[in-house]
């Protein structure tokens, strides 16, 4: 991608950023050197706490109050950023170097109109006059594909969706035509369909306008989509650098290989179910290992790695890597093939049915926004969160539910758990009618149904020790005799790889992944028949996510539990589930065995979701299908087929007027669409199964 | 042994915040004075010691009052009343208001509406009016003063506890408790209460300050603790007539009163600061 200009836009030499803390000075970034060439996108990956964001802010010489650039140079177009005065830096920041942040909500001022915030950038940096600035802003909004830019200019932040907010911020960053665009996790927290749209936009800007980008993400799939070159960061150091193809095909550093190994992949084939988590965690900054920083977690460490710190060396392919054993064959091998634990997917049918749901509906009263609701003139509507859902869950198998946020996944799980009350429909759980809230269910039944929640921060009572949290269900359900409880808790702690030393710890002393493990142990303590998982992995780092996912599978196999697994991440669902339901606006639009669902015939929505999943493999070719707009309000869902407003395969007025039939592909695979199955079968597969 | 270790830890935590340290020192001083009043007071608080309205001297550091009693001794003994009655009345208020607030926030629906409207009605009266109403209709005694003040503190505490419970209710650990079939009582007292107790404690520190002022106001209005028991509010009231000629009879109890209130506020701020750092 290097153009004729011989000079890199950004050149970082031996950078060091140090923080002054209570425990003395710690170096959050050490020995970091890299270059970004004009028109290039450099992807920066690593787990959380590896110093990615610190590095990004250091590029503009903008560090926290207690931090300083302690060594090295940052040359931006040949000028050293470290030596610049505050005034000079202000001229560069937001002008020559622009930044797009992770949380668009926090980056936009809630009380100023979008237009004013955009124009301000031009007036500040370019001294543009009001009208010129406005025209330029509108042009820029068009460029980021915002619908009706003049109208957008008049809006406030809360009147835009998350994806639109991020587009506005990208437009804002591009207004001054910066030489370098730093993007810090710009799509994290967005729905996968929205994310795909933003990534398309970034790729297009790069292609059409030659924007130079430093792109930070923890998501390898996103990085592989955007970056030309990739730099892998671990505990404050760059451990590997190289072209995106090389990094993904032939990682040289064990950490890169390990990161790739723990990402669930749709293209990998479902037989290799067990992922390879990275043991341990990123070392604390004041407790850096003496030798190689990755040595404590590396399965190929030798004596030398413990005593000596490896230097960056060039690789044959033109990259750079910080490992003594780079290029030795076993690393590449470890990344390529993974040991297959478990004997593939188990039979989805044949096992005993534990949960049967027919025509379940759950509505809740809409919150009236603003003062309008006070005078009673506005009729309060009902949010049809779950609207006619039927499903069957079997022992020892997992049913996945996927869909964008706001499609009713969580309400469905809460209905099944009895935390929300169903409006109508039948729910039969191991032969008992459970279409009611948990307080009204038979008490003997409660131990059979447990739930694992999304947010590890609130899933445990902060005032209760880990041991107490796990012991309580044992005591309540009488799973084991009272004097055995402590032993059983320890056994469970060992099953989730935490061990007895965690017994007396409080939640605030645990990391997110550890909290989720405790939640797992608590849910499985009473040996339930069915466990509901509401996005239990979504807030965890990839390396931790793989470990928790493996545990979940292990516990399921041990106790022969049925699981209902809610996720927005199709690759996780692909690896974990035997059956998948795709949910849109309170209804299932497709349900079927996993392999069948990930291949044609697809429901058009499934097809679009699949096409949006970021895949950590730059060589995968696939069709790009993008959905426009956001999920419509469940307060007043579209007539006919609920998906017709966004459907790329809409066939005509019938989609708007008539609810589509549920068509059977096979006994277990059903699609709710007006299009004939045979026509859907003719669609090319989104993912090329090589 | 364990208690000492616990106390040591808490003190170490308190020292992390400057305002908490200052607040704790002020309050400890007054608690000490209150406990040691018989030892540190030079004279009896109720007996007449000599000439009326003496200015401060070596014998009477803060002079004597309109009946010839030693102001310093009355001030010291008065500490007992203030530092004993105020916390008791706040504690009584919390004991009634906390369960109400917890139920209201957690259960919601009609119960919530009922409790909240009752609270609103009480809140719509000025608190002082409630005190006066109760005390004038039943008569003034130490117990009645305590009851009146705790009753006045119920509505605001209920509201605070309710909003805290409302927040906790939606957290997943409460959902997990519901799923394992915990009784409502258990969820309220064992799951939610420990997690809202921090803010309740901070709030009650400030509220003890209010209660002290309320006791003072009632004493000033002549509705407080009946004489001759020493009470700071009553002392201010008695000294009022000589405020210009003999200011010490008013200034001393007023300064004591405000130092206790400020100490409590500082302590509350500090505790909040420490809780946030954790």
Round the average pLDDT of chain A to a whole number and report it. 85
Mean pLDDT within A7-34 = 86
Q: Which residue of A has its CA nearest to B168?
A: A458
Instruction: Choose between B187 and A92: higher pLDDT.
Output: B187
Name the nearest CA neighbour of A660 among A669, B51, A650. Answer: A650
Q: What are the helix (H) ranges across A127-212?
A: 130-143, 149-153, 162-174, 192-209
Question: CA A359 to CA A158: how far, in whole Å?
Answer: 35
Q: Looking at the complex, does the CB of residue A472 fall below 8 Å from at least one CB of chain B?
A: yes
Mark out the alpha helices in A463-507 (DSSP H runs): 466-477, 485-495
Contact yes or no for A556/A398 (Cβ under 8 A): yes
In this prediction, residue B8 has a pLDDT band, given cuts at 50, 70 and 90, of confident
pLDDT tens for A591-607 read 999 988 988 888 999 99
Contact assignment for B179 to A418 by CB distance below 8 Å: yes
pLDDT at A333: 46
Answer whether A82's CB lies under 8 Å from A61's CB.
yes
- A417 at B interface, C-beta within 8 A: yes
* A·B CB contacts under 8 A: 53
H, E, C per residue of A216-247 = ECCCHHHHHHHCCEEEEEECCEEEEEEEHHHH
Return the residue matching tokens 């790069």: A206
Predicted pLDDT at B164: 94
Contacts of B172 in chain A (CB under 8 A): 453-455, 458-459
d(CA B200, CA A105): 32
Percent pLDDT > 70 in chain B is: 98
pLDDT greater than 60 at residue A336: no
Chain A residue with CA closest to B167: the answer is A458
Whether the pLDDT of residue A400 is over 90: the answer is: yes
Q: Which of A458, A466, A564 to mutate to test the interface with B (most CBs of B within 10 A)?
A: A458
Nearest to B178 among A419, A459, A473 (CB): A419
- Best mutation target among A444, A463, A533 (most B Cβ atoms within 10 Å) is A463
Question: Cα-atom radius of gyration of chain A, to the nearest Å?
Answer: 26
More confident call, B45 vs A444: A444
Q: Which of A22-26, A131-135, A159-163 has the lowest mean pLDDT?
A: A22-26
pLDDT for res A372: 47
What predicted TM-score, i.e. pTM, was given to this entire model?
0.83
Whether A59 has a pLDDT exceeding 80, the answer reads yes
Count Cα neighbours of A336 within 13 Å in the Cβ-side half-sphere: 9
Q: pLDDT tens, A295-315?
A: 888 888 888 888 888 888 888
- β-strand pairing of A579-584 with A587-593: antiparallel
pLDDT at B63 over 80: no
Q: For a pLDDT cut of 70, what percent of chain A falls above it?
A: 92
Evaluate if residue A281 carries a pLDDT over 80: no
How close does chain B come to A411, measured CA to CA in Å? 13
Chain B neighbors of A447, CB-CB under 8 A:
180
**Cα separations in angstroms, B94 against A458, A545, B158, B271:** 26, 44, 8, 18
Query: pLDDT tier at A58 (50, 70, 90 boundaries)?
Result: confident
DSSP state of B190: I
Burial of B54-78, coded b for 16+ CB within 10 Å and e otherwise, reads beeeeebebbbbeeebbbbbbbbbb
Confidence (pLDDT) at A360? 92
Put simply, whether A506 touches B (Cβ < 8 Å) is no
Q: How close does chain B come to A448, measured CA to CA in Å?
A: 9
Q: Are A36 and A8 in contact (CB under 8 A)?
A: yes
Q: What is the pLDDT of residues B204-251, one digit of tens each?
A: 888 888 888 888 888 788 787 777 777 787 788 777 787 787 787 788
Cα–Cα distance for residue pair A275/A78, rounded to 1 Å: 44
| Residue of B164, B169, B180 to mutate when probing chain A, most A C-beta within 10 A | B180
Going by pLDDT thresholds of 50, 70 and 90, the confidence category of residue A689 is: low
Q: Please name which of A401, A397, A415 lies closest in space to residue A353, comparing C-alpha atoms.
A: A397
Q: How far is A500 from chain B (nearest CA, A)?
A: 22
- Of chain A, the percentage scoring pLDDT greater than 90 comes to 26
- CA nearest to A525 within chain B: B180
* Chain A residue with the nearest C-alpha to that of B187: A461
Quick check: A508 and B278 CB within 8 A? yes
Is residue A66 over pLDDT 90? no
Per CB-CB distance under 8 Å, the chain A contacts of B191 are 461
> Measured between CA atoms, how close is B205 to chain A, in angstroms?
22
Torsion of CA A608, A613, A617, A620, to 10 degrees: -10
Measured CA to CA, the distance from residue A225 to residue A616 in angstroms comes to 8
Output A316 or A376, whichever has higher pLDDT: A316
Q: Which comes out higher in pLDDT, residue A678 or B278?
A: A678
pLDDT per residue as tens digits for the range A350-367 = 678 999 999 999 988 765
Q: Does A449 touch chain B (CB under 8 A)?
A: yes
Mean pLDDT within A540-568:
88
Please tell me chain B's helix, strand, coil percentages from 3-state DSSP, rounded to the nearest 5.
Answer: 75, 0, 20
Question: Does B172 contact A453 at a Cβ distance shorter than 8 Å?
Answer: yes
Using a CB-CB cut-off of 8 Å, the residues of chain A touching B177 are: 461
Residue carrying structure tokens 């509010």: B233
Q: Is the pLDDT of residue A273 over 70?
A: no
Beta bridge partners of A384: A363
CA angle A509, A515, A517 (to 5 degrees): 135
pLDDT tens, position by position, A621-644: 777 888 877 778 888 888 889 999
pLDDT, tens only, A210-263: 889 999 998 888 999 899 999 999 988 999 999 998 888 888 888 998 888 888
Asked whether the predicted pLDDT for residue B105 surpasses 80, the reply is: yes
* Tokens found for residue A572: 């996780």
> What is A518-551 written as a DSSP string?
HHHHHHHHT--SEEEEESTTTTS-HHHHHHHHHH
Q: Which residue has the higher pLDDT, A438 or B57?
A: A438
**How far apart are the CA of B250 and the nearest CA of chain A, in angstroms?**
47
Q: CA A78, A82, A87, A90 torsion: positive or negative?
A: positive
């Amino acid at each position: 991608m290097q153009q004729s200009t011989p000079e890199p836009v950004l050149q970082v030499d031996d950078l060091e950023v140090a923080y002054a803390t209570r425990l003395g000075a710690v170096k959050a970034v050490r020995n970091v050197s890299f270059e970004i060439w004009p028109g290039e996108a450099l992807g920066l990956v690593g787990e959380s706490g590896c110093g990615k964001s610190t590095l990004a802010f250091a590029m503009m010489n903008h560090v926290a109050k207690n931090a300083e650039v302690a060594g090295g140079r940052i040359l931006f177009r040949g000028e050293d950023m470290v030596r610049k005065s505050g005034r000079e830096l202000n001229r560069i920041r937001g002008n020559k170097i622009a930044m797009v942040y992770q949380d668009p909500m926090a980056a936009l001022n809630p009380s100023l109109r979008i237009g004013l915030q955009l124009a301000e950038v031009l007036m500040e940096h370019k001294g543009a006059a009001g009208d010129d600035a406005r025209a330029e802003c509108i042009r820029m909004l068009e460029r980021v594909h915002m619908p009706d830019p003049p109208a957008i200019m008049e809006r406030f932040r809360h009147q835009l969706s998350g994806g639109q907010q991020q587009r506005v911020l990208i437009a804002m960053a591009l207004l001054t035509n910066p030489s370098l665009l730093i993007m810090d996790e710009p799509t994290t927290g967005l729905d996968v369909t929205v994310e795909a749209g933003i990534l398309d936009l970034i790729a297009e800007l790069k292609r059409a306008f030659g924007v130079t980008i430093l792109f930070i993400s923890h998501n390898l799939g996103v990085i592989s989509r955007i970056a030309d070159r990739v730099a892998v960061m671990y505990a404050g150091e760059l451990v590997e650098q190289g072209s995106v193809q090389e990094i993904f095909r032939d990682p040289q550093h064990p950490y890169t290989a390990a990161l790739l190994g723990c990402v669930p992949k749709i293209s990998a084939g479902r037989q290799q179910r067990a992922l390879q988590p990275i043991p341990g965690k990123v070392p604390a900054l004041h407790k850096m290992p003496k030798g190689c920083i990755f040595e404590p977690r590396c399965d190929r460490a030798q004596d030398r790695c413990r005593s000596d710190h490896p230097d960056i060396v060039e690789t044959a392919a033109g990259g750079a890597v910080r490992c003594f054993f780079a290029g030795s064959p076993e690393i590449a091998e470890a990344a390529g093939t993974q040991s297959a634990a478990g004997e593939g997917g188990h039979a989805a049918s044949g096992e005993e049915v534990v949960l049967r749901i027919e025509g379940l509906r759950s509505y809740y009263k809409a919150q009236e926004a603003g003062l309008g609701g006070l005078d009673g003139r506005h009729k309060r509507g009902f949010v049809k969160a779950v609207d006619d859902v039927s499903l069957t869950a079997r022992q020892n198998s997992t049913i996945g539910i996927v869909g964008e946020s706001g499609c009713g996944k969580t309400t469905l799980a809460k209905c099944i758990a009895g935390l929300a009350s169903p409006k109508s429909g039948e729910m039969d759980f191991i032969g008992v009618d459970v279409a009611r809230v948990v307080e009204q269910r038979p008490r003997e039944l409660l131990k059979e149904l447990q739930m694992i929640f999304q947010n590890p921060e609130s899933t445990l009572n902060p005032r209760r020790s880990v041991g107490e949290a796990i012991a309580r269900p044992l005591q309540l359900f009488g799973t084991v005799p009272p004097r055995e409880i402590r032993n059983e808790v320890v056994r469970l702690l060992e099953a989730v790889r935490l061990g007895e030393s965690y017994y007396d710890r409080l939640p605030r002393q645990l990391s997110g992944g550890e909290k989720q493990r405790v939640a797992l142990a608590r849910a499985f303590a009473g040996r339930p028949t069915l466990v509901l998982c509401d996005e239990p992995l979504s807030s965890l780092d990839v390396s931790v996510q793989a470990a928790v996912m493996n545990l979940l599978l292990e516990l399921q196999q041990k106790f022969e539990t049925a699981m209902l697994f809610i996720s927005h991440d199709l690759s996780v669902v692909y690896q974990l589930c035997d059956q998948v339901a795709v949910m849109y606006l309170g209804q299932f639009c497709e349900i079927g065995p996993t392999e069948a669902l990930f291949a044609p015939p697809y429901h058009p929505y499934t097809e679009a979701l699949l096409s949006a999943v970021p895949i950590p493999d730059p060589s995968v070719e696939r069709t790009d299908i993008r959905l426009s707009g956001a999920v419509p309000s469940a307060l007043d869902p579209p007539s006919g087929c609920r998906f017709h407003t966004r459907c790329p395969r809409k066939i005509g007025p019938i989609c708007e007027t008539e609810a589509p039939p549920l068509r059977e592909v096979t006994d277990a695979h059903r699609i709710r669409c007006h299009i004939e199955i045979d026509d859907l079968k003719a669609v090319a597969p989104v993912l090329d199964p090589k | 042994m364990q208690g000492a270790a616990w106390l040591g830890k808490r003190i170490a935590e308190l020292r992390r915040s400057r305002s908490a340290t200052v607040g704790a020192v002020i309050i400890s001083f007054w608690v000490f004075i209150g406990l040691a009043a018989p030892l540190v007071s030079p004279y009896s608080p109720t007996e007449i010691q000599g000439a009326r309205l003496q200015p401060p001297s070596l014998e009477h550091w803060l002079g004597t009052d309109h009946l010839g009693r030693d102001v310093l001794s009355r001030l010291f003994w008065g500490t007992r009343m203030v530092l004993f009655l105020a916390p008791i009345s706040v504690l009584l208020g919390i004991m009634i208001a906390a369960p109400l607030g917890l139920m209201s926030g957690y259960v919601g629906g009609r119960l919530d509406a009922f409790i909240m409207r009752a609270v609103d009605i009480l809140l719509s009266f000025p608190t002082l009016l409630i005190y006066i109403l109760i005390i004038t209709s039943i008569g003034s005694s130490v117990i009645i003063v305590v009851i009146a003040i705790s009753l006045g503190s119920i509505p605001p505490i209920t509201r605070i506890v309710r909003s805290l419970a409302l927040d906790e209710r939606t957290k997943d650990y409460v959902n997990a408790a519901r799923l394992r079939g915990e009784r409502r009582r258990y969820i309220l007292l064992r799951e939610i209460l420990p997690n809202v107790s921090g803010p309740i404690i901070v709030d009650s520190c400030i509220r003890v300050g209010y209660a002290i002022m309320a006791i003072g106001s009632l004493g000033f209005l002549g509705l407080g603790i009946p004489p001759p028991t020493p009470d700071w509010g009553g002392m201010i009231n008695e000294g009022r007539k000589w405020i210009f000629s003999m200011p010490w009879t008013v200034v001393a109890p007023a300064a004591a009163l405000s130092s206790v209130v400020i100490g409590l506020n500082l302590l509350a701020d500090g505790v909040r600061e420490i809780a946030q750092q954790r």
